[in-house]
Structure 1
């Protein structure tokens, strides 16, 4: 059981009615709260929860339409995302209670201040290195419009400016990160055909490839529904057409690819997690055609080259700078 859920379950009297659990982990909290429903935007968590609690978890970027008596928000990593989801549920719960739960090392103490506009928050419990906060919504906000919270920025590319649309919670929200910037400088000589942007975020790499190589088929894949929603907005803002998939890991990607591009993630929440990237490096060769290329950018301190060489036999450093390296490997 996730320690945040353990803290909730120490206070069962507050959660007897129709409860919405926002950003919940894939544990047994729904099993312990039979009247609760979830709202999730992580495709892997959604799949695990749906397998056990079919029909009880809403997936996507919008607050579910169903009625609920109270809501518990599991503190997201992003302040912008927590602000959005807190306002979204508080707008639906005038004069009712909203709860915020999170780990101390995840910043729950400071994040509790985001409850102040709704009423007077109070710390309800502190245990398992977590805190549970409660606020009665005296001042219900207007329901936020997610598109209005998007940040827009423009990249100057050889083919012309690329407009990027970034939603709250998306990696490198509102700006181009250094790793992707380096990879954008080295998109030359890609194999023609079907290109996958793995861990697409706001869709920068996939959109740039489609702009430069318009005859290529491009698929963008990310585990996060806010990321894939951002990618769709970025593609639309530039008049580009590509497939967008929200799913957990390379297993959901098409086969017979010509290129896999990625600035792969290695952080999840406050914990370091290399699983998604290691899975990518181990299985990407199976998704590539013969002669197809894996091209990724990663922090220089991450020892990805030996993992790639285990699968591909050879891996070259195509470029490096500002603490990042671009690795390239081809299926033989």
Structure 2
């Protein structure tokens, strides 16, 4: 059981009836709270929860409609995403409690101040290195407008400006990260065919690829609902069309790909997690056609070349700069 869920269950009498759990972990909490439903923006966790508790956890960028006696937010990593979700939940909870639970090191005390802006807030419990807070929604806020919260910026690229739309919680929200900037400079000479942007974020790489290779079929994949929505908006803002899918890892990707391009994630919440990127390398060959290419950017300290050579073949370092490297390998 996740320690945040354990803290919640220490006060189980507060969480009976029609309860909305937002950003909940994929543990047994729904089984312990039979009247509760979940809202997740992580495709992998939502998939696991729906396998165990069919139909009780929704996926997307907005909470499921309904009349709830209360809601609980499991603290997200991003302050901007916390703001949005708190507002979205509070809009459905006039006069009813909104709870916040999170790890101390994840900034739950800071987030409690955000909760307090919606009504009186008080700490109910502190255990398992986590805290549980309760807020009373005194005045119902308006439903937050994602369009108003989006960061829109322009990248001046060699083939013209690219409009980027980034939503709260998306990696490198509102700016271009160093790894993606380097990868943008080295997208030449890709094989033609179906191309995957793995871990698409706000869609910068995928939109650039579609513009540079208009005859290729582009697929953009991310585990996060806000990233998927950001990518769709970035494509639309540039008059581009591509398939955007939500899924947890490379197993969710199509087969027979000509190329996989990626700035793979290595964080989940406040924790470092290399599972998605390592699994991508280990299973890329299952998704690539013969002669297909894996091209990814990664921090230089990560020892990816031996793993790439073990599962794909010869690994070429295309460039190294500012602590990042681009690796390239061809599937035999």
Range of TM-score over shorter length: over 0.9
Q: Structure 1: which 5+ runs fail to align?
A: none
Q: Tell me how far 1:270 sits from its aligned partner.
A: 1.1
The CA deviation at 1:268 is 0.6
Unaligned runs of 5+ in 2: none
Separation in structure 2 between the aligned mates of residue 302 and residue 195 of structure 1, nearest angstrom: 25
Distance in 2 (alpha carbons) for counterparts of 1:147 and 1:70: 26
In structure 2, what is the Cα distance between the partners aligned to 1:178 and 1:82? 25
Structure-2 separation of matches of 1:28 and 1:140: 31
Shift of 1:11: 0.4
Find the counterpart in structure 2 of residue 15 from structure 1: 15
Aligned to 2:298: 298
Task: Give the corresponding residue for 1:228.
Answer: 228
Tell me the CA shift for residue 313 of structure 1: 2.0
SS at match of 2:165: strand
In structure 1, the residue matched to 2:200 is 200
Measure the CA separation in 2 of the matches of 1:233 and 1:200.
12
Question: Could you tell me how far 1:70 is from its partner in structure 2?
Answer: 0.3
The question of whether the paired residues in 2 share the 8 Å contact of 1:282 and 1:311 is answered with yes
Q: Distance in 1 between matches of 2:236 and 2:9?
A: 44
Structure 1 runs (4+) deviating above 2 angstroms are none
Query: What's the CA shift string for 1:47-75, capped at 9, x where partnerless?
Result: 10000100111111111112211000000
Counterparts of residues 232-271 of structure 1 (less than 5 Å):
232-271=232-271
How many residues are paired up?
332
Counterpart of 1:38 in structure 2 is: 38
Residue 17 (structure 1) shift: 2.1
**C-alpha root-mean-square deviation of aligned residues, in Å?**
0.7
> How far off is 1:86 after superposition?
0.4
Find the counterpart in structure 2 of residue 114 from structure 1. Answer: 114
Aligned mates of 1:120, 1:69 — CA distance in 2: 17
Match of 1:272 in 2: 272
Question: In structure 1, the residue corresponding to 2:117 is in which secondary structure?
Answer: helix
1:169 is aligned to 2:175: no
TM-score scaled by length of structure 2? 0.99
Deviations 1:159-180 (A, max 9, x none): 2110010000000000000000
Check the 8 A contact 1:117/1:139 in 2, yes or no. Answer: no
User: SS in structure 2 opposite 1:192?
Assistant: coil
